[in-house]
Structure 1
Amino acid sequence: MGERPTAFSIKHGHQSVTLNRGRTYMVYEKRMERSGRIARRLSDLGSQVLTVTRLHPDLVKERIAMTPGDSIWLCERAGQRNVSPNHLNRLFQKVSEFLSDNPDGTIIFEGIEYLLLYNELKKVLTVLERINDLIMSSNATMVLSIDPPTLEPRTLAYLRRSAEVIG
């Protein structure tokens, strides 16, 4: 397989948006629809997709209309693909392993507000920054699916500092 493009365009509303690999983006949405379109587009370009979400993996498949290459379910139930919201280091480790195997992979991350129910803001932001460092040092792309009313304005402002808002 040839080298993948470092930038790609995606239809976003009535316009086309160009996204670059090695970057983190934030999409304002309630149901992962726009981030799902981005995941499908990158998958079409050959990128493996990891979803990190509060939704059960079967619901994620329905919601984004594709089968991700891998998924992490943020929940308290034990399971191989499940990560408890209390175990931020395990979450980082699983994302790191995915990016090690897929340096130009795509991460769709939904559930930050859920992590904040179980952890201090500083700890959640720290793990997101560590993941963002991996993204920037690779050819990967991360999309944070955010529903702004679920987060404090200060938290949203912190997230905007390390992610480009695309809607």
Structure 2
Amino acid sequence: MLEGPGLLYLTGVMLVFIGIYGMMKSYREYQRHAKPIKRLAATLTISFFLFGIIGGLAVFLMVFYGPSFWVLEAVSVTASYLLLSNSALGLLEKVEIRHRIRRKPVSLCPLPVAGVIGSRRDALTLLRALKSYMGTPTMIIAREHPERWRRITGLRPEEYVWLTRVEHPQAISPSNLHVLTERVIEFLRTSEDGVVYIEGIEYMLFYSDFRAVAKFLFSIRDTAMIYGGHVLVLANDETLRPEYMAILKREFEEVRVNELLEKIVGPTLFGVVAKRRKGYASSESSEKRSGVSEKEAQKDGPLRWEEEAEERG
């Protein structure tokens, strides 16, 4: 039975053998794969070198020159462990992210990933149906003051962004599209099957060119694809130039309201919802009788609030 120096010598030989074998296998995998496996294979090669070759050399030095070389053994083993564990944890994190992206939640919402709708009344009807019958989390980006939006529409979204230059806790300037993009991405990332509804595209065009606004829309559309969300944009030929609408319709699907409502509430309740749409229309007409039309509410009203706020400031 081996003991003392003989056992240490055998341990050193085994470590060197393991190191050489591990380095050869790791290098072979390094040549076969792409990132991030290639990076893991490179780390494995270095780890086997430290653990096997340097560790085995340290054992031989301990046999021939004394136990003081245990420090080299400890350093080589510790360094190889840290390298390997750090690389493995990094790989696991990337695999987890890709796993989440590939296994995005199956969407129960019948809305397309990216849709364009020409009528504000139809858009609000869809949002009400989604909230009432499916409990869909919503984020609203619009030109109206948050309280006025809730009072007029009866909707209480999880998140509301007021497009305005006036300072307000829920406000984002229409010129800060990068800030708006980050806000939308965070909502889509954290809200399963969430819907982002956007009004005021024409207002954004006062402060940015169409290319910048289109980049914003396409970016959040792609984010919705990744996280299983939906983006609904209010736009029509009256608010956007024909060439802009043509580009938007190539990237965003035109929403068919009646078909979607039937999918949301079912054929039996569809007639009830259709009647409610007429009721919503009459309530909006009463808003007009009070001296503020829908068109004015989207354009003139918010602008007057900004002017008054700037005068007070």
So what's the TM-score if we normalise by structure 1? 0.83
Asked if 1:61 is matched to 2:118, the reply is no
1:35 alignment partner AA: A
Residue correspondence of structure 1 range 146-161 to structure 2 within 5 A: 146-161=235-250
Runs of 4+ in 1 over 4 A off after TM superposition: none
Higher strand share: 1
1:20-78 per-residue CA deviation (whole Å, 9 max, x = no partner) reads: 4xx1111112xx21111111222231221110011111222234321111100000011
2:123 alignment partner AA: S
Equivalent residue number for residue 175 of structure 2: 86
1:61 alignment partner AA: R
2:185 alignment partner AA: S
Distance 1:123 1:4 in 2: 31
CA 7–76 in structure 1, closer or farther in 2 if over 3 Å, else same: closer
Equivalent residue number for residue 47 of structure 1: 136
SS at match of 2:227: coil
Residue correspondence of structure 1 range 86-105 to structure 2 within 5 A: 86-105=175-194
Deviation at 1:114, TM superposition (A): 0.4
SS at match of 1:137: helix
Query: Identity of aligned pairs, percent?
Result: 26
Structure whose CA Rg is larger: 2
Equivalent residue number for residue 117 of structure 2: 27
Deviation at 1:148, TM superposition (A): 2.1
Structure 2 residues not aligned, in runs of 5+: 1-104, 257-313
SS at match of 1:148: coil
CA contact (8 A) 2:164 2:174 kept: yes
2:222 alignment partner AA: D
Equivalent residue number for residue 108 of structure 2: 6
Structure 1 residues not aligned, in runs of 5+: 9-18
Equivalent residue number for residue 137 of structure 1: 226
Higher helix share: 2
Q: Cα RMSD over matched residues? A: 1.8
CA contact (8 A) 1:50 1:108 kept: yes
